[in-house]
Amino acid sequence: MSELLDNAINSIQLGIEDYQSNDDRRPISALRNFYAGVLLLGKECLLQAAPDADPMEVLASKYTPRLDEDGKLVISPKGQTTIDLQELRDRFGGFGLKWPEGNIKDLQRLRNDFEHYHSKAPKETIRETIAACFPLVEGFFSILELSPSASLGGTWDIMLAERAFFKKQKAACDATLEKLPWWDNVWDSSHFQCSACNSSLIYQEDAGNTDPAMVRGHCKACGEEYTAEQTTEMIVQSLYGADDYIAAKDGGEQVIHNCPECSVEAYVESADFIGCFFCEYSIDDTCARCNTGLTVATQSVNNPSLCDYCDHVSSRAD
């Protein structure tokens, strides 16, 4: 076993050991050790993909070009800093390795929050965040052609139990939301997270409710409660927030709007859905004057049957 792989396994084991402790001072240690172990495991995948190369030539974050005695260009590692998470993921592509499934970005964010901003995330959120990374660990071991059970021993059994526990909790939360009208059509609940602690363990207090205007969200991790408007806005952000960001970045049309009918920021105009998630209002009409399709951006506030331009022209004519 290589020294890097040995360090990776030890760090993961220490992280899970810290995580299991009831000592309130050890969550940051759990996050730091587990995160470091996962990154080391990924780096070992790169090293084994290029077994004859110098490790720093594979893992260095910075390189310096120079000419050797024969005038040939040589690229040499600069310093001892190795690649971070994003560089590791990018380098996987360059080495022809498929990046495994699993969410490590939330783990990275939470670790940074604890170290730099003294995060108050509850233990349940830490538990969920670490568990979401287990498929990535399993994927790295698969690339290395190693058994995670044999490599991690009892730690792997604990990880499997934690993963099963989270899945059960998540399924129970999702079950309370299944009767809402958009569930079967468009909703992937994996990105629906509490805005206070980022846990995805959000449930509806009244599991029998089918009316978006009556939904009350509750976070199982931190206990935060949300009004119907807040819950619906979080759902819309989980679904279309990324599309909205990309559209704004690329100069495209906004996806999420304040609803003209109820004013909740839950009106969506996308390729797969048009309408308000909260009050179900939908603009499905054309301008009465020019026959152009109306949208939230073009519909006149003063005269909903006209577009802004035609309303302006009509006002001037009057």
Confidence of residue 82 (pLDDT cuts 50, 70, 90): very high
pLDDT digits (tens, 9 = 90+) for 257-277: 999 889 999 999 888 888 999
* 34-to-22, 41, 62, 79, 164 alpha-carbon distances in Å: 17, 11, 25, 25, 19
Q: Are residues 146 and 182 in the same domain?
A: no
Q: Are residues 50 and 99 in the same domain?
A: yes
Domain-ending residue, one of 173, 188, 219: 173
What mean pLDDT do residues 296-304 have? 84
Q: Are residues 169 and 208 in the same domain?
A: no
Q: Are residues 40 and 118 in the same domain?
A: yes
Q: Are residues 95 and 163 in the same domain?
A: yes
Between 196 and 145, residue with greater pLDDT: 145
CA 111 to chain centroid, in Å, comes to: 15
Burial classification of residue 105, based on how many CB atoms lie within 10 Å of its CB (0-12 exposed, 13-18 middle, 19 or more buried): middle
How much is the pLDDT for 263? Answer: 93
> Could you tell me if residue 129 is inside a domain?
yes
> Could you tell me if residue 305 is inside a domain?
no
Which amino acid would we find at residue 136?
A: L
Confidence of residue 113 (pLDDT cuts 50, 70, 90): confident
In the predicted structure, residue 68 carries a pLDDT above the cut 90 = no
Q: What is the DSSP string of 15-77?
A: HHHHHH---TT-HHHHHHHHHHHHHHHHHHHHHHHSTTS-HHHHHBS-EEEEE-TTS-EEEEE
What mean pLDDT do residues 120-148 have? 90
What mean pLDDT do residues 103-109 have? 89
- Could you list the residue range(s) of the whole structural domain that residue 151 is in? 3-173
What mean pLDDT do residues 98-127 have? 84
How much is the pLDDT for 42? Answer: 97
pLDDT digits (tens, 9 = 90+) for 239-262: 888 888 888 878 778 899 999 889
Between 22 and 58, residue with greater pLDDT: 58
Q: Which helix (H) or strand (E) holds 256?
A: strand 256-257
Q: Are residues 191 and 45 in the same domain?
A: no
Q: Are residues 86 and 136 in the same domain?
A: yes
> Could you tell me if residue 264 is inside a domain?
no
| Domains: count for the chain | 2
Q: Are residues 157 and 228 in the same domain?
A: no
How much is the pLDDT for 60? Answer: 94
> Could you tell me if residue 161 is inside a domain?
yes
> Could you tell me if residue 254 is inside a domain?
no
From 13-22, 85-94, 97-106, the region with the lowest mean pLDDT: 13-22
Share of the chain above pLDDT 90, in %: 45
> Could you tell me if residue 312 is inside a domain?
no
